Structures are given as C-alpha cells and as structure tokens.
Amino acid sequence: MGRRIAVFGTGYLGATHAACMAELGHEVLGVDVDEAKLAKLAAGELPFYEPGLPAVLRRNLNSGSLRFTTSYEEAADFANVHFIAVGTPQKHGELAADLRYVDAVIESLAPLLTRPAAILGKSTVPAGTAARLAARMRSLAPASEQVELAWNPEFLREGFAVADTLHPDRIVLGLESGRGAYAEAAAREVYATQLTADTPFLVTDLATAELVKTAANAFLATKISFINSIAEVCEATGADVSMLADAIGHDARIGRRFLNAGIGFGGGCLPKDIRAFIAMAGELGAGQAFSLLREVDGINMRRRNKMVDLAREAAGGSFIGTRIGVLGAAFKPDSDDVRDSPALNIAGQIQLQGAAVTVYDPQAMDNARQLFPTLQYAQDVPTACTGVDVVLILTEWQQFVGLDPGELGTLVRSRSVIDGRNCLDPRAWREAGWKYRGIGRP
Ligand code: UGA
C-alpha cells in the first residue's frame, strides 16, 4: 500500500519527484501557487525538457495516482508525508540563497496540520535552515508535537532526473535531535522500493543532511575547476588535458567522471550552491575555509572569458564585422535549461564585442530567446553556420559530436572551429581542412 504524499513546488525537482513517487506506487498530490504551471502538468505537459519524464507523468495522471492542486487545505487533508521541493535561488546582489519560498511552504502548511505528519525537505538549503523551520512549524501547527520535520536532500541531475530519482546512489535523511521516529518510518515506506534494492540509507542529524547536499555540489564544482586549471597549464606546455584526464581518471581515488575540461559549469545549481555555501560559511565564522570555493567560482568564470579570447583570436583579432556560429545554448546537453549557461554568456559577450552571432540548440531555443532576445537564432546547424568565420561548439549535444566536418566545411566562410567542450575528434576535423582549437589541447 502506497503512502499519501504531497509535494510542494512543481518545478524541476518537484514535478520529477511527484511523478516518480506516483510511479513507485504512492498517491501523490503536487502543490504549487502557479495555476498555469499546474494546468499544464495536469494536462500531461512539462514546462521543461527532461527525457523520460513525460511518459511517467502521463502514466500516473491517467491511473489517477498523481493529481495537482493549488490548495494547501486539500494537501494537508490528503497527505501525511509532505515534501518541500521549492526553489532556493541566489539572492539578488548577494551570494546567499533566497529562502522565501521554503519559508512560505511552512507558513502556509503548518497551521493546517492537525494530525501526525512528516515534512521532508528536499530543497537545497544552508545548514541551520531545517532546525529553524522545525521550530517555526512547531509554533504554528495545531498537532505540533506529532509533526516531525526531516531533511532529505535531492541529488538528481537534469537529463537523468527520472533514473536518479528512481535509482539514487544514496538516500540521506536528517532528523531533529530527540525526535524522528515517525519521519524515519515514513521515509522508509516512501522509499521502500529503493531500500529493497539495497540503496544506501544514511540517517543523520539535520545539519549534516543539509551539508551533504551542499558539499556534494561544491566537490563536483571543485573537480571541474581543478581540471580547468590543469587545462590552463596544458595550454602553456602543449600538453593534452583530455588524455591527462583519462590517465589520472584510472586511479579509482580520482575517477574519470566530472573531469571534462572546457568552458566550465553553469546551470541552476552548481554556481548558486557554491555561492550560498561561501555565504553560509562566512556567517558561521568559518569563512576562511571557503577561499577555496571563491577560487573555484573564479576559475570557472574565467573559462568564459578565455573562450571569448580564443574566438576573437580565431576571428583575426577583432570581432567587428565578423560572423560567429554558436552551437549550443543549454548549460549542458539533454537539457533545455539556460540558467547561468556558459554557452549563452559567451555568445552574448561576443555579440556585444561586435560580431554577428547566430545560435542553434536542439532544445533550448525558446528559453535562450527569452533570456537573450538580442542574439540571432537559427532553426538548424547549417543555417547557424552558413557564411561564418568561426564555429563554436559550446554544449556537447550528440548531434554536434556527430557532425560531418566535410559537409559543414562547404557552408562556412572559414574552416575554423573552437571546441569549448573538447567533444570533437580533432583529427577528423583537421583532416577535413579545419583549423581546430580545443581547450587545454595542443
Ligand atoms: C548538479 C549535480 O550534478 C546534481 O547531483 C545535483 O542534484 C544538481 O546539480 C542539483 O543541485 O540540483 P545539474 O545541475 O543537473 O546537476 O548538472 P551537472 O550534470 O552537474 O552539470 C553541471 C555543469 O557542469 C554543466 O554546465 C556541465 O556542462 C558542467 N560540467 C560537468 C563540466 O564542465 N565538466 C564535467 O566534467 C562535468
């Protein structure tokens, strides 16, 4: 028998979590304040691109195990497990995370809780947030002594959201000190399928659970900036960072994954999470420890300027009067997300320096157009590259990796390509008469 679950927030995280919980056999109510978004979801449409998720959404809508509502009353009445899955964006003009949406869920939900329930937070929050929310919940909830708040961070990757939710590497559950039996039992029932499959289940205190998520993203960001600084040394010495990464990656302690040098990380998570981490550490008086993450952020942002410099060089020293074809706008392949996308940042900078930039992306065109309406957009690769002086590969979509350099060469004005993701085969492009330039590659 499944549990009755409410999921607050139906963005990337919430919509995926709600649909996947229904897929696991639970009865799920997705809750949001955005009626237009809910109407779309209820009609089986996702407001973002995520492979595999539409099928899961539709299947569970049709079976009746997944519904959507704006009503907190309905949710409080229906469910006894409440997931918080709202966003925690970067505050305007500050490094810290904006917690207003998380706070709003507690303010609206807690006064309606009149019987035992578990609130499981999934959003990425600074350490200390859950304890504060638990105290606030207790001052508002009529059944406050029978309601438990726990933190259950989410590690899903865009593009793999369904698989990461159904088959996570681990499940982390942070409990309030001196309480938590109800929340832990609820979580064990919610994740029964994963636990039967021997998924590691780590029960911690609240602060540890909050920090696990932030530390994981900080480590991933550090790994990318590390290899990107090695790429700078490779450039200076004529070494090849891709082969170097293969070689050091064979050491199991290092590992090859997340060691791809290029234009660096972007998206709605890694950049804002390391900044929130820096802000939090500063507030707690542990700021010095995080000069490391400032450097990680700095190295990452420098990659974008470096790419602009390489493109300018390839265009003959100045962008004025040149045409640049940009392949890729999403922050990574298999996503239509352009939040803090290195690709769009670079395209925008080049355009502002006088080039005519044409962008193509297989999925992110609408989002890119909204964020950067002044760039030119083409409906396919050939249109984006016709008559250009330089082609830039900024997102490693399979479609770009598989391009035929000979064919593309007949369209451009000059056979010059810069591979911002080191995803092309340099030999094949050079053999087809291209001037190939990678990142940290000779
Ligand atoms: C990231 C984490 O990987 C997830 O575990 C986490 O749950 C999620 O953030 C989150 O906090 O919600 P995601 O933002 O989907 O997931 O993207 P990643 O796959 O981590 O890629 C982030 C960026 O790093 C992309 O711009 C990608 O192009 C870049 N990257 C990745 C590299 O530059 N090199 C690499 O080797 C790997």
CATH number of the domain enclosing 123: 3.40.50.720
Residues 188 and 227 in one domain: no
Q: For residue 442, is it within any domain?
A: no
What is the pLDDT, as a whole number, of residue 1? 63
Q: Is the pLDDT of residue 203 over 70?
A: yes
Give the whole-number percent of the chain exceeding pLDDT 90: 95
What is the pLDDT, as a whole number, of residue 224? 98
Q: What is the pLDDT of residues 98-132, one digit of tens each?
A: 999 999 999 999 999 999 999 999 999 999 999 99
How far apart CA 373 and CA 182 sit, in angstroms, is 50
User: By CB neighbour count within 10 A (0-12 exposed, 13-18 middle, 19+ buried), where does 380 fall?
Assistant: exposed
Q: Which atom of ligand 1 is nearest to the CA of 332?
A: 28
Specify the range with the lowest mean pLDDT, choosing from 40-49, 274-283, 423-432: 274-283
Q: For residue 143, is it within any domain?
A: yes
**What is the DSSP-derived secondary structure letter of residue 375?**
S
Residues 340 and 403 in one domain: yes
What is the pLDDT, as a whole number, of residue 384? 98
What is the pLDDT, as a whole number, of residue 82? 98
Token readout for 429 is: 């492009």
How many Cα atoms occupy the beta-carbon half-sphere of 337 within 13 Å? Answer: 19
Token readout for 330 is: 């999403």
Residues 225 and 175 in one domain: no
Q: With helix as H, strand as E and coil as C, how does 162-180 read?
A: HHHHHCCCCEEEEECCCCC
CA-to-CA dists, residue 344 to 179, 337, 390, 409, angstroms: 47, 11, 16, 24
Closest CA to 88 of 264, 213, 187: 213
How far apart CA 413 and CA 344 sit, in angstroms, is 23
What is the pLDDT, as a whole number, of residue 108? 98
Torsions phi, psi of 416, nearest 5?
-135, 120
Contact criterion met (CB below 8 Å) for 291 and 399: no
Cβ–ligand 1 distance for 270 under 6 Å, the answer yes
Q: For residue 211, is it within any domain?
A: no
Residues 169 and 270 in one domain: no
Tell me which of 136, 171, 199 is where a domain ends.
199
Residues 324 and 194 in one domain: no
Specify the range with the lowest mean pLDDT, choosing from 107-111, 279-283, 305-309, 340-344: 279-283
Q: For residue 207, is it within any domain?
A: no
Residues 431 and 340 in one domain: yes
Residues 260 and 185 in one domain: no
Q: Whose CA is nearest to atom 19 of ligand 1?
A: 157
Give the whole-number percent of the chain exceeding pLDDT 70: 100
Q: What is the pLDDT of residues 34-85, one digit of tens each?
A: 999 999 999 999 999 999 999 999 999 999 999 999 999 999 999 999 999 9
Q: How far apart are the first and last CA of the chain?
A: 59
Q: At 442, is the pLDDT very low, low, confident or very high (cuts 50, 70, 90)?
A: confident
Q: Is the pLDDT of residue 275 over 70?
A: yes
DSSP notation for 84-118: E----PBPTTSSSB--HHHHHHHHHHGGG--S-EE
Residues 21 and 96 in one domain: yes
Contacts of 228 (CB under 8 A, 6+ apart): 261, 262, 264, 299, 300, 303, 439, 440
Contact criterion met (CB below 8 Å) for 330 and 395: yes
Tell me which of 170, 199, 228 is where a domain ends.
199
Residues 142 and 83 in one domain: yes
Specify the range with the lowest mean pLDDT, choosing from 82-86, 285-289, 359-363: 285-289
Q: Once rounded to an integer, what is the mean pLDDT over residues 153-158?
A: 96
Residues 138 and 42 in one domain: yes
Say how many Å lie between the CA of residue 363 and the centre of ligand 1.
17
Q: What is the pLDDT of residues 299-312, one digit of tens each?
A: 999 999 999 999 99
Residues 20 and 56 in one domain: yes
Q: For residue 209, is it within any domain?
A: no
Say how many Å lie between the CA of residue 265 and the centre of ligand 1.
7
Residues 259 and 388 in one domain: yes
How far apart CA 49 and CA 336 sit, in angstroms, is 6
413 is in which domain, residue-wise?
Answer: 218-437
Angle of helix 270-283 relative to helix 291-314, nearest 10 degrees, comes to 150
**What is the DSSP-derived secondary structure letter of residue 387?**
T
Cβ–ligand 1 distance for 217 under 6 Å, the answer yes
Q: For residue 208, is it within any domain?
A: no
Q: Which atom of ligand 1 is nearest to the CA of 159?
A: 15
Q: For residue 17, is it within any domain?
A: yes
Mean pLDDT of the chain: 96
| Number of independent structural domains in the chain | 2
